[in-house]
Chain A
Amino acid sequence: MTGTSTGVFSGLRNWLLLPSWLVIGVLVLSPVFIMLVYSFLTKEFRGGVIWDFTLAAYDQFFLDRGLFGDEPPKMEWTYINIFWRSIWQALLATLLCLLIGFPTAYFIATRPPSARTVWLFMVTVPYWVNLLIRTVSMKFLIRDNGPVNEWLLATGMISEPIHLINTPIAVQLGLFYSYLPFMVLPVYAAMERYSFSLSEAAADLYASKWFTLWHIVIPSVRPGIIAGCILVFIPSMGAFLAPDLLGGARNFMIGSLIEEQFKGTAGNWPFGAAASMILLSAVLLVLLYYTHYQSKTGIAKN
């Protein structure tokens, strides 16, 4: 395939790749395939599936046929709304992470090399704690009588606690906080390779700081920004801890919906599988667009 590997390793190549193929095949592709199959099966009421082919799960996601399933089909908005909420919450989280993560990465990349390690270390420290615990902590921080509200009340900036728990803002805070390092790290990696003499050259040629940022720095680190956006957007789309713990029932996201279908005996496996497939398709579309865009700019560069 590559034509470049010759010598002793050429025969070994396929064998050396075997572990990777096994991991991808067994742990990635087969679960997805199982999900795909399950999404076309009939639900078993105690959880599980009956091996009867049906489109009922997808039908249920998009169409409303009344309580007994005998009315003429109408558009079912419940799940599309949940899906839509997931998309904009994820987009907003990505945007917030970019707004905070980009300056952070820029700051770290402009420190002396020894200090950079310390700053990067500090970015990763919160991630030594389990996501569930961090999300619960967030709940304690922002609840009506939590430290944030207490402090704001004490300083007299507000006269009544700000109600955040069970609002979309709380979900947003949770998502943003969960995935911020996924933005900081790839942007930093790109920024570290960026040659700051380009910024000096721009200043030398009379460019203002903002012009340099928009037209020299950002185009140079764009691959890192895109990678960061993808790394934040995709897990945010499927997140269920933040919406569950911080958002309550009115701020359901697609991840919580799927989780619910597989939890306990009340669930509906085919429906959860179908929702997963729909989520997966949306994510794949985003990735396809990205690779297409990348290869296009790649060609323009060379």
Chain B
Amino acid sequence: MADEIAIQITQVTKFYGSGTDSTRALHDISVAIRHNEFFTLLGPSGCGKTTLLRIIGGFEDFQNGEIILHGNSIKALPANKRPVNTVFQHYALFPHMSIRDNIGFGLKMLGKNAAEIRERTDEMLDLVKLTEYGHRRPAQLSGGQQQRVALARALAPAPRVVLLDEPLSALDLKLRQSMRHELRRIRESLGMTFIFVTHDQEEALTMSDRIAVMSEGELQQVGSPEDIYNNPANIFVADFIGQTNLIPGIVKATTADAAQCQLAGGQSIEVPLARQPTPNRGDTVKLSIRPEHMDICQPDSDSAQITGVLKEQVFLGTDMQFLIEIDDSILLMVRLQSTQDSLHRWNPGDQVGIRVNIGFVRLLTS
């Protein structure tokens, strides 16, 4: 059961407009979302993630492709016939109805009897911790409370899939962080499939079982948060998720398990290929090295793989960030924990060595 597919999206393509004026919103999207999964669509604004969510919800049509929900095509179903509920970005609570009536709306439309609606509404109010607020109007609640009502309203009819369209984006930072835990807790207690749209990578990394990274209407990579972070499939994903150094280089030689790369500026580094495809000799690549996968050492020590000149150090609280110039135009960002003793051993202008945790270096060609 665990691997049952909740939603199978096959080759979905969407254009806005027609003829030569048309713009491509989604291109050939295929992805399978598992039952009971917290699945996140992540990408910058305009990447098509919200469009894809709205297509699943039935609010947008599309030109090609198919969407199967638990074995049945929902392509032809209008929004009000799909067993899918949405938490809207600005909540879209009905302003002239009480909180209870908002939460019970879907059940009422499904023709449930009054006793059942009352019971389920109580249950939902409990779940989102708003038991005392049932008789208020949405305008009388804070943003965070309204957000929870929107969630309760979408969960009340017990849909098979819940769609969440940037539900946390209107909340302040503290509230957003506590709502992340809240969302996870609620999903785990109910066992529903959540499809979550966000442009906030931290949100995506902390909440999701799997993430689909999107850009310009295309899927870039689908995988677990660790997978996406540690094994980005391309330059876009490496750059979009977390911080990384992208250093231009050329593959000089390859063996079965490592590639010899020459960085711009002339220095060379050997990158293991255990967790990535083997590049061709002569390929121009970008080496993606995350700031936390490097350490600073004496320039003449054996462990120094690259050398450079320390340009700047910035105290970030838990971390200290160093900018090291390894070539006229290339600055490497290195991040060390502030607790390390070595922090104050270096001064701007010093020649330093960089030790790279080369198991995490990725060679990216596109």
Q: Which residues of A contact B (CB under 8 A)?
A: 195, 197-198, 200-208, 211, 216, 219-220, 301-302
**Cross-chain contact A211 with B109 (CB below 8 angstroms):** yes
| Docked pose: A297 CA to B139 CA in angstroms | 14
Known: A198-B94, A219-B96, A220-B96. A204 touches B137 (CB 8 A): no
Most buried by A among B78, B81, B86: B86
**Cross-chain contact A205 with B139 (CB below 8 angstroms):** no
**Cross-chain contact A204 with B96 (CB below 8 angstroms):** no
| Docked pose: A197 CA to B50 CA in angstroms | 14
Find residues 155-189 in chain B having any chain A CB closer than 8 Å to their own CB.
Answer: 157
| Docked pose: A205 CA to B88 CA in angstroms | 12
Number of A-B contacts (CB under 8 A): 63
A197 is contacted by which of B78, B88, B137, B157 (Cβ under 8 Å)? B88
What is the CB-to-nearest-CB distance from B92 to chain A, in angstroms, rounded to a whole number? 4
Q: Which residues of A contact B95 (CB under 8 A)?
A: 198, 220, 301
Please name the residue on chain B nearest to A198 by beta carbon.
B92
What is the CB-to-nearest-CB distance from B117 to chain A, in angstroms, rounded to a whole number? 12
Known: A201-B86, A302-B139. A207 touches B94 (CB 8 A): no
**Cross-chain contact B88 with A200 (CB below 8 angstroms):** yes
Given pairs A195-B92, A205-B80, A302-B139, 6 additional interface contacts (CB within 8 A): A198-B92, A200-B59, A204-B80, A206-B80, A208-B80, A301-B95
Number of interface residues of B (CB under 8 A): 26
Q: Which residues of B contact A216 (CB under 8 A)?
A: 94
Please name the residue on chain B nearest to A207 by beta carbon.
B109
Q: Which residues of B contact A198 (CB under 8 A)?
A: 92, 94-95
**Cross-chain contact B80 with A197 (CB below 8 angstroms):** no
B153 part of interface (Cβ distance < 8 Å): yes
B79 is contacted by which of A203, A219, A302 (Cβ under 8 Å)? A203
Q: Which residues of B contact A206 (CB under 8 A)?
A: 80-81, 106, 109-110, 157
**Cross-chain contact A203 with B78 (CB below 8 angstroms):** yes
B86 is contacted by which of A204, A207, A211 (Cβ under 8 Å)? A204
**Cross-chain contact A201 with B88 (CB below 8 angstroms):** yes
B196 part of interface (Cβ distance < 8 Å): no
B85 part of interface (Cβ distance < 8 Å): yes
A207 is contacted by which of B58, B80, B90, B92 (Cβ under 8 Å)? B80
| Docked pose: A205 CA to B83 CA in angstroms | 9
Residue-wise, chain B 67-84 has the 8 Å CB interface mask toward A (1 for contact) of 000000000001111001
**Cross-chain contact A205 with B106 (CB below 8 angstroms):** yes
| Docked pose: A207 CA to B108 CA in angstroms | 9
**Cross-chain contact B105 with A301 (CB below 8 angstroms):** no
| Docked pose: A301 CA to B96 CA in angstroms | 7
Most buried by A among B93, B105, B153: B105
What is the CB-to-nearest-CB distance from B269 to chain A, in angstroms, rounded to a whole number? 52
Residue-wise, chain B 90-122 has the 8 Å CB interface mask toward A (1 for contact) of 101111100000000110011000000000000
B57 part of interface (Cβ distance < 8 Å): yes
**Cross-chain contact B105 with A205 (CB below 8 angstroms):** yes
What is the CB-to-nearest-CB distance from B103 to chain A, in angstroms, rounded to a whole number? 10
Q: Which residues of A contact B57 (CB under 8 A)?
A: 204
Most buried by B among A206, A208, A219: A206
Q: Which 10 A-B pairs have the closest CB atoms?
A: A205-B106, A206-B109, A201-B92, A203-B79, A197-B92, A203-B80, A204-B86, A219-B96, A207-B109, A205-B105
Can you give 29 contacting A-B residue pairs, CB < 8 Å? A197-B88, A197-B92, A200-B59, A200-B79, A200-B88, A200-B92, A201-B94, A202-B80, A203-B78, A203-B79, A203-B80, A204-B58, A204-B59, A204-B79, A204-B80, A204-B84, A205-B105, A205-B106, A205-B109, A205-B153, A206-B80, A206-B109, A207-B80, A208-B80, A220-B95, A220-B96, A301-B95, A301-B139, A302-B139
Q: Which residues of B contact A204 (CB under 8 A)?
A: 57-59, 79-80, 84-86, 154
Q: Which residues of B contact A301 (CB under 8 A)?
A: 95-96, 137, 139
| Docked pose: A201 CA to B163 CA in angstroms | 12
Please name the residue on chain A nearest to B80 by beta carbon.
A203
Q: Which residues of A contact B137 (CB under 8 A)?
A: 301
Most buried by B among A202, A203, A204, A208: A204
| Docked pose: A204 CA to B153 CA in angstroms | 10
Find residues 112-164 in chain B having any chain A CB closer than 8 Å to their own CB.
Answer: 137, 139, 153-154, 157
| Docked pose: A37 CA to B9 CA in angstroms | 79
Q: Which residues of B contact A201 (CB under 8 A)?
A: 86, 88, 92-94, 153
Please name the residue on chain B nearest to A197 by beta carbon.
B92
**Cross-chain contact A202 with B105 (CB below 8 angstroms):** yes
Q: Which residues of B contact A195 (CB under 8 A)?
A: 90, 92
Q: Which residues of A contact B96 (CB under 8 A)?
A: 219-220, 301
| Docked pose: A207 CA to B139 CA in angstroms | 23
Q: Which residues of A contact B92 (CB under 8 A)?
A: 195, 197-198, 200-201
